[in-house]
Chains A and B, each alone.
Chain A
Amino acid sequence: MNRLLYLLFLVCTTSFAQTQMNNTEATELQSKVKSLAETTKTITADFVQYKHLDFLSDDIVSTGKLSFKSPDLVKWAYVKPFEYSVLFKDDMLYINNEGKKNEVDIGSNKMFKQLNKLISSSVTGDMFNTEEFNISYFNKGSDTEVHFSPKDKKFAKYIKEFHILFNADAEVSEVKMIEPSNDYTHIVFSNRLTNQNLSDAVFAQ
C-alpha cells in the first residue's frame, strides 16, 4: 500500500514538474527568446559546472564566469579548482591554462563549439532549428525546459541531448549536455547581468 502511494506520489509530482508544452506556448517562448536576444548585446554570469560520471561517488564541480558579446564572442573562464579559460572567437579556440596560452583545438571541442553555438544562438533567438534538432518543450513551474536532440548521426554519437532551461524572463539559466552513456555535464548560471559595458580586453586572446 505504501509502495502504491509512493508510486502515485511520484507519478503526480513528475507530471506536475514537467508537462509537455502545447504549440502555442512553444511559439510564444520562441518569440520571447528572440525579442530578448535582439536587445541583448552583452551577458556576464557566474557558472557552476557539475560533471556527472555514473561510476563516481560525487560529481566533479568547477566554477567560473561566462562572458558573451553579441553576436558570437563567448568566453568560459574557470576559476576553481583550477584556472583555465577558453575563448571562442572566429571559429578558433584560445586556451589559457594557468597562464600557459594555447591555440590548439583538440577535436573533441568540436561538440563544445556546437553547444556554444547553441548557447550563442539561444541569445540571438534562432536556435529553434528543426533541421538540426528534434525539439521538445516542457513546462517546469514558471520555467521552460527545451530538449534538443541532434539529427546529425555523427554528433549524436557524442551528445544524445541538450537540455536548456529558460527562466520566466526567457533567459538561459541552465544547460545540460547528455552523452549517449547518460553521463552528463550540467551548467548552472547565476548573477546574470545583461548589457553591461564589457571591455574588449575580456575577449583578447
Chain B
Amino acid sequence: MRFLLSSILLILVSCGSYPKKQNFKEVTSEKVEIYNPYFSDSTKDYVYKADIKVFKNSFSGIFIVKKLSEARHRIVFTTELGNKLFDFEFQQENFKINQILPEMDKKVLINVLKRDFFALIEEKPFAINSYSKDDLRMSESELLGKKHYYLFVKGALERIVRTANGKEKVTFLFSGINDNIASEIQILHHGIKLEIKLKAL
C-alpha cells in the first residue's frame, strides 16, 4: 500500500511540467512573445570556434552561421584548415543539406544536428505558455514537434531547454551576451554523450 502510494506520488511529481518543477508560476494576464536574437542580423557573419565531444572522441572546427534572408539561414562547419565538413540550410523548418562529408552522413547524427541548430537560429518561436519566478521569465514553445522552454533573465535569453516527459533532454546555454551576440554557447545533451561548445571568434 505504501509502495503504491509512493509510486502514485512519484508519477504525479514526474508528470509535473518542467516550469512547475522549477517553481515557476504560469502567467495568464499578458501575451508574451519569444525572441532569440543571437543569429538574427543578416549583416553579420557569425563565426565560432567549435569544440565537440561525442562519446570519447573530441574534435574541433569552425562553426559559421549566416542569416541569408528572413527565416533563411546557412550553417557551415569546417575544420580549422578550411575543409567543409557539412553545409546545411534552413528555410523556416525546411532543412536542406548542401554538402556533407560521407563519414558524417548518418541519419541519426543529422537529425540531432538539425534539431540543435534549428533551436539556435529560430528567432520568433510561438509562445504556447509563459511562466515567471522573481525576475525570471520562461516561455514554452514547440520546435520540430518537441517542447522547448526559453529562459529569460532580466529580458536576456540565457537558456533554452528541450524536454521530454518534463525532463531536460538538451540544454542550450548562452553567455557573454553583448549587443545581441552570445560570445559563448554550449549545447549539452543529457541523454547521449554529446557536448558542443562554441566560442565567438
Q: Are A100 and B43 in contact (CB under 8 A)?
A: no
B4-12, B80-88, B107-115 - interface stretch: B80-88
Q: Does A182 contact B (CB under 8 A)?
A: no
Q: Which residues of B contact A56 (CB under 8 A)?
A: 45, 64, 66
Within 8 A of B (CB), among A71-106: 76, 78, 81-82, 84, 86, 97, 100, 102, 104, 106
In the assembly, what is the distance between CA of A166 and CA of B84, in Å?
26
Q: Are B59 and A82 in contact (CB under 8 A)?
A: no
Q: Are A106 and B85 in contact (CB under 8 A)?
A: yes
Q: Does A146 contact B (CB under 8 A)?
A: no
Q: Which residues of A contact B66 (CB under 8 A)?
A: 55-56
B96-104, B116-124, B141-149, B150-158 - interface stretch: B96-104
Q: Which residues of A contact B43 (CB under 8 A)?
A: 57
7 pairs, A vs B, C-beta closer than 8 Å: A49-B81, A56-B45, A84-B80, A100-B58, A109-B79, A112-B81, A179-B84
Q: Does B68 contact A (CB under 8 A)?
A: yes
**Chain B: residues with CB nearer than 8 A to chain A?**
43-45, 47, 49, 51, 57-60, 62, 64, 66, 68, 74, 76, 78-85, 98-99, 101-103, 201
Min Cβ gap A104→B in Å is: 6
Given that A55-B68, A56-B45 are known contacts, is A108 also in contact with B80, CB under 8 Å in the complex? no
Within 8 A of B (CB), among A157-189: 158, 177, 179, 181, 183, 185
In terms of DSSP, what is the predominant structure of the interface of chain B?
strand
Q: Are B101 and A82 in contact (CB under 8 A)?
A: no
Q: Are A102 and B58 in contact (CB under 8 A)?
A: yes
Q: Are B80 and A106 in contact (CB under 8 A)?
A: no
* Per-residue B-contact encoding for A39-53, CB less than 8 Å = 1, 0 else: 000000000010101
Q: Does A152 contact B (CB under 8 A)?
A: no
Q: Are A53 and B76 in contact (CB under 8 A)?
A: yes
Q: Are A112 and B79 in contact (CB under 8 A)?
A: yes
Q: Does A111 contact B (CB under 8 A)?
A: yes
Q: Are B79 and A49 in contact (CB under 8 A)?
A: no
Q: Which residues of A contact B76 (CB under 8 A)?
A: 53
Q: Which residues of A contact B103 (CB under 8 A)?
A: 106-108
Q: Which residues of B contact A78 (CB under 8 A)?
A: 80
Q: Which residues of B contact A104 (CB under 8 A)?
A: 57-59
Q: Are A82 and B45 in contact (CB under 8 A)?
A: no
Given that A56-B66, A97-B51 are known contacts, is A107 also in contact with B45, CB under 8 Å in the complex? no
Q: Which residues of B contact A109 (CB under 8 A)?
A: 79, 81, 83
Q: Does A58 contact B (CB under 8 A)?
A: yes
Q: Does A62 contact B (CB under 8 A)?
A: yes
Which among B43, B44, B47, B68 has the highest number of chain A CB atoms within 10 Å? B47
Q: Does A17 contact B (CB under 8 A)?
A: no
What 4 additional pairs, Cβ within 8 angstroms, besides A104-B57, A108-B83?
Answer: A55-B68, A55-B74, A102-B58, A106-B103
Q: Are A111 and B83 in contact (CB under 8 A)?
A: yes
Q: Which residues of B contact A49 (CB under 8 A)?
A: 81-82
Min Cβ gap A94→B in Å is: 14
Instruction: Considering the complex, give the chain B residue whose CB is closest to the CB of A106.
Output: B59
In the assembly, what is the distance between CA of A181 and CA of B51, in Å?
26
Q: Are A82 and B49 in contact (CB under 8 A)?
A: yes
Q: Are B83 and A82 in contact (CB under 8 A)?
A: no
Given that A81-B201, A102-B59, A104-B59 are known contacts, is A57 also in contact with B81, CB under 8 Å in the complex? no
